[in-house]
A and B are shown apart, each in its own frame.
Chain A
Amino acid sequence: MATTPDTSLAARARYEPVIGLEVHVQLLTASKIFCSCSTRFGDPPNTNVCPVCLGLPGALPVLNRKAVEFAVRAAMALNCRVNETSIFARKNYFYPDLPKGYQISQYDKPLAEFGWIEITTGTGRKKIGITRLHLEEDAGKSLHEGFPDSDQTTAIDLNRSGVPLIEIVSEPDIASPDEAYEYLTRLKEIILYTGVSDCNMEEGSLRCDANVSVRPRGQKEFGTKTEVKNVNSFRFIREALEYEIERHIGVIESGGKITQETRLYNANEGKTYGMRSKEQAHDYRYFPEPDLLPLVVDEKWQAEIRRMLPELPEARRKRMVADYGITEYDVQVLTSTQALADQFEAAAKAAKNPKRVANLVQSELMGRLKARGLEIEQSPISMKGVAMSADLVESGAISGKMLKDLYDLCFERGQDFPAVYEKEKPQQITDTSAIEKIINEVIAANPKQLEQYRGGKKTVIGFFVGQVMKASRGQANPQLVNELLAKKLES
C-alpha cells in the first residue's frame, strides 16, 4: 500500500474497527420494477425507456410481482423475517440520472429485517446480522467522461432507471477487512444459489458501500464513521477498508478528529479521498410513496416463495460431507462455484466410488486447470470424464500413473477423457497363456493369501485380481483374469 499514516502496531492494537456493509443487488427480472421496459444490459442507450422510468408527468408505477418474489426469496435465504406489510417511500434528492427527483425505495417499513449469515473467521464461525433487506429502483447511468464535450456536459443513459434492486444492510458486526471480504463472498454465494441475481460486479449487478469507524478496544460507543462508496471488487473493498482503518487511527493518534463523510477509493493509489459534497447532502426527506399501495406478502404467498428456495450453500456442504465421505476442506473446494458443485455431484453419483471422484478432481484436475489459468467451466475434462477415469482406476483397468498421462493428453489436445482414453487405452492382454503366467507368479508370491482362500475365505480372490491387474500394468483383460484365477485357485 502507498504511504499511510504513521500507525505503529502497538497503536493499531489499541483500536478495534467497526464495519457495516450496504450491498445493492440487481434482480434478474425481464422487465423493470415499475414498468415493462426491458432490463437487458448493454442495449443502445435510452432505448429501454418509457414515461414511467423517464419520470414524465402523469406516469404511474405498477409493481412487478416477480421483483417482490425474488426479493422475498433472497430475504428468506438470508434468514430474514419477512414483514407481511411493507411500504414504498420516496427518497428525495437531485441528480441528473434520477429523472423523477426521487428514488422509490423503502424506509421505515422495509420488506424484511432481522436476518443473519454465518462466516468463517480466523477464530471460528461467526454470525453477521442483517439489519434489513428492502426493494428499490435503480437510477440511470451518468457518463462523465469519454465524449468530445465531456468538459462541458455529462451524458445520461436511462436504460438502468427503474431496474429492480434489493439493498442488504448488515449490522455493524464486522470487525476486520478480512471479515468484510468473507461476508461479501458468502453473501454473494447465497444470492447466486437463490438465482435472483447474477451478482456480476463488472456490470454493476452487485455494488457495495462500506461504513467504517474505529474505537478504543473495550469502548462501547462507536467512533465517527466514514462511508466508502462505489468500490468495484471485493479485494478493493478489503484494501479500501484497510486504508481507512489506518487513516482513522492515524488521525486519532495524532490528536485529530474524523469527519463524517463519503470517500471514494482510488485502486491505483490504494488510497481513499473525501468527496467534495455540500453539507446537508443527506437529508432525503423520505415520505410514503402515494402512487403505490402497501406491499402485502401474506403467509400464503410467503409459503409459495419458500417452496422455491433451493438447497443453500452451507446446507449443501454439510450434506456433501455426509453423502460422499469427503473432508471439510474437500467440500470447500468442490463448492467454490455452484456449477462445479452441480457437475461434481452428477458425476459422483454416477461413479462407483464418489470419494475417488472427489480426490481426482482436486489432485489431478484442479492443479492442471490452475497451471493453465482455466476456470472449471473451461476444463477439457468434464466431471463425467473424471467419473469415467475414476471407475477405470477403481477396476484396475488403468494405473494411477496412466491416469496422470491421460489427463496430460486431455489438456494438450483440449479433449475430454473418454475421447482420449478411447484412442490411447492400453492394449489389453487377451492371450490366455500370458495371463496364466502372471497368475502363477502372483500366487507363488502370496502363499499366505492362497492359504486363506483355500481355507474358505473366498473374498481373497479380490486381492489376487488386484495383484494380477497391477502386475500386468492394468493391461490384462479383467474378465479373463477373473475366470482364470478362479480356476487356478480351485485346482
Chain B
Amino acid sequence: MKVTEKDVSYVADLANLELTSEERTRMVRDLNSILGYIDRLNELDTANVPPMAQVSDRYGVDQSKQGSERFAYASREDVHEGLRKSLPHEEALQNAPEADGIFFKVPKVIER
C-alpha cells in the first residue's frame, strides 16, 4: 500500500473535496490500484526516450516543418477580436450562480 488515508485526505483537501469515510476507503483502494499500474509501466526502460509533454508534438504536425514553423499553425496574430469576439456582457454572466448584472458574485473570500 503506497497511498495512505492521510494522502487521500491531503489530496482531497487540495481539490476542495469533502469525502465520507467510505469514499476515502474506496479512494485509497483505487489510487493504489492506479499507482500499481504505473509501477508496471515503470518497468520499461525509458533511458533513451525524451520526456513527452504533449502528444500533438508527435501526431498532427506537418513533419516536413522544423523549428518554430512546425507549431506556427497553433498560434495566432495579436489581433483584438480577431479569431473570436468577446461575449456580450449578459451572455458572459448568464450561467453564473450569482451575478449583479455587472460583476460575478461569490461568497465572501476571507482568506487573504
On whether A153 and B105 interact (CB within 8 A), knowing A31-B81, A37-B81, A144-B112, the answer reads yes
Within 8 A of A (CB), among B50-96: 53-54, 56-57, 66-71, 74-87, 89, 92-93, 95
Query: How far is the CB of A478 from the nearest CB of chain B, in Å?
Result: 56
Q: Is the CB of A62 within 8 A of B74?
A: yes
Instruction: Judge whether A433 is part of the interface by a CB distance below 8 angstroms.
Output: no
* A275 to B110 CA separation, bound complex (whole angstroms): 11
Of B69, B76, B102, B109, which contacts A96 at CB under 8 A? B109
Binds B, one of A43-51, A315-323, A363-371, A443-451: A43-51
Q: Is the CB of B71 within 8 A of A296?
A: yes
Query: How far is the CB of B13 from the nearest CB of chain A, in Å?
Result: 7
* A44 to B86 CA separation, bound complex (whole angstroms): 13
* A278 to B100 CA separation, bound complex (whole angstroms): 30
Of B57, B67, B110, which contacts A293 at CB under 8 A? B57
Instruction: Judge whether B37 is part of the interface by a CB distance below 8 angstroms.
Output: no
Q: Is the CB of A152 within 8 A of B75?
A: no
* A156 to B107 CA separation, bound complex (whole angstroms): 11
* For the complex of A and B, 3 pairs with smallest distance between CB atoms: A298-B67, A66-B78, A288-B53
Of B86, B104, B105, which contacts A38 at CB under 8 A? B86
Of B53, B70, B95, B103, which contacts A156 at CB under 8 A? B103
Q: Is the CB of B70 within 8 A of A296?
A: yes
Of B13, B54, B81, B112, which contacts A290 at CB under 8 A? B54
Q: Is the CB of A156 within 8 A of B106?
A: yes
Query: Within 8 Å CB of A150, what residues of B?
Result: 108
* A31 to B111 CA separation, bound complex (whole angstroms): 31
Q: Is the CB of B76 within 8 A of A298?
A: no
* A63 to B78 CA separation, bound complex (whole angstroms): 9
- Please classify how large the interface on chain B is, using the bins under 10, 10 to 19, 20 to 34, 35 or more: 35 or more
Identify the interface centre among B81, B86, B89, B93: most chain A CB within 10 Å of its CB.
B86
Q: Is the CB of A300 within 8 A of B67?
A: yes
Of A36, A47, A156, A297, which contacts B82 at CB under 8 A? A36
* A96 to B68 CA separation, bound complex (whole angstroms): 35
On whether A36 and B80 interact (CB within 8 A), knowing A157-B103, A276-B111, the answer reads yes
Query: Within 8 Å CB of A292, what residues of B?
Result: 54, 74
Query: How far is the CB of B86 from the nearest CB of chain A, in Å?
Result: 5
* A334 to B56 CA separation, bound complex (whole angstroms): 52
Query: Within 8 Å CB of B93, what residues of A?
Result: 46
Of A29, A87, A152, A285, which contacts B78 at CB under 8 A? A29
* A299 to B110 CA separation, bound complex (whole angstroms): 48
Query: Within 8 Å CB of B112, what residues of A?
Result: 144, 275
* A67 to B70 CA separation, bound complex (whole angstroms): 18
Instruction: Judge whether A259 is part of the interface by a CB distance below 8 angstroms.
Output: no
Instruction: Judge whether B14 is part of the interface by a CB distance below 8 angstroms.
Output: yes
Query: Within 8 Å CB of B78, what residues of A?
Result: 29-31, 64-67
- In the complex formed, the residue of A with least CB distance to B70 is A296
On whether A35 and B77 interact (CB within 8 A), knowing A156-B106, A157-B103, A300-B67, the answer reads no
Query: How far is the CB of B74 from the nearest CB of chain A, in Å?
Result: 5
Query: Within 8 Å CB of A151, what residues of B?
Result: 108
* A95 to B92 CA separation, bound complex (whole angstroms): 19
Q: Is the CB of A47 within 8 A of B86?
A: yes
- In the complex formed, the residue of B with least CB distance to A275 is B112
- In the complex formed, the residue of B with least CB distance to A47 is B89
* A295 to B81 CA separation, bound complex (whole angstroms): 23
A selection of 29 A-B contacts at a CB cut-off of 8 Å is: A31-B81, A35-B84, A46-B102, A46-B103, A49-B86, A50-B87, A50-B92, A62-B76, A63-B76, A64-B76, A67-B78, A87-B54, A94-B16, A96-B104, A144-B108, A153-B105, A154-B108, A154-B109, A155-B100, A155-B105, A156-B104, A156-B106, A157-B104, A158-B92, A275-B111, A293-B56, A293-B74, A299-B67, A300-B68
Q: Is the CB of B54 within 8 A of A288?
A: yes
Q: Is the CB of B111 within 8 A of A277?
A: yes
Within 8 A of A (CB), among B34-62: 53-54, 56-57
Q: Is the CB of B16 within 8 A of A46?
A: no
Within 8 A of B (CB), among A259-310: 275-278, 280, 283, 285, 288, 290, 292-301
Identify the interface centre among A95, A151, A293: most chain B CB within 10 Å of its CB.
A293
Instruction: Judge whether A142 is part of the interface by a CB distance below 8 angstroms.
Output: yes
Q: Is the CB of B68 within 8 A of A154?
A: no
Q: Is the CB of A152 within 8 A of B107?
A: yes
Query: Within 8 Å CB of A68, what residues of B?
Result: 75
